[in-house]
A = this chain, B = another copy of it.
């Protein structure tokens, strides 16, 4: 899927996103066209999804993260619930998970009191039967993909 050079390209752009293709080619010791071709291919394959700015909710004042497991009422299915949860800005991520029609969502709030409000909003969503939440006390490993890239690039994968 990706080779060693792909891995190094991704690694370099992850470490220093602003360097540009030309500087990257110098650092990697390959021609500029090569780096460009690799980036094009990686984007085409969907490996690189985009270069959007990463927003830190904490810096926006949303310092509390929690994971909420939802019990969904069977009747009506998931979709209406998803649509309603999508309208809650504090819902950062939402997954359907294994186990009796449940969902897992990641939410943020300004503080613990605000978290109560957000959870109430979610519980009030039509179709949600129960919600049980765990609060993230600390993020030991922030979202990362680099080791995965290295693993994928390392294997002849």
Contacts and interface: CB of A to CB of B under 8 A. Distances in A.
Contacts of A137: 95-98
Contact of A89 (B46, B59, B82, B150): B150
B89 A52 contact: no
Interface string A118-157: 0000000000000000111111111111011111100001
Interface string A61-90: 110010100000000001000100110111
A137 B102 CA distance: 10
A89 B55 contact: no
Given A141-B86, A145-B92, A50 B48 contact: no
Interface of A: 1-2, 10, 13-14, 17-18, 42, 45-62, 65, 67, 78, 82, 85-86, 88-99, 102-106, 108, 134-145, 147-152, 157
A54 B47 CA distance: 8
5 contacts: A85-B141, A86-B141, A92-B144, A96-B136, A104-B136
Contacts of A10: 53, 55
Contact of A48 (B54, B99, B144, B149): B54
Contacts of A2: 60
B55 A47 contact: yes
B46 A59 contact: yes
A145 B99 contact: no
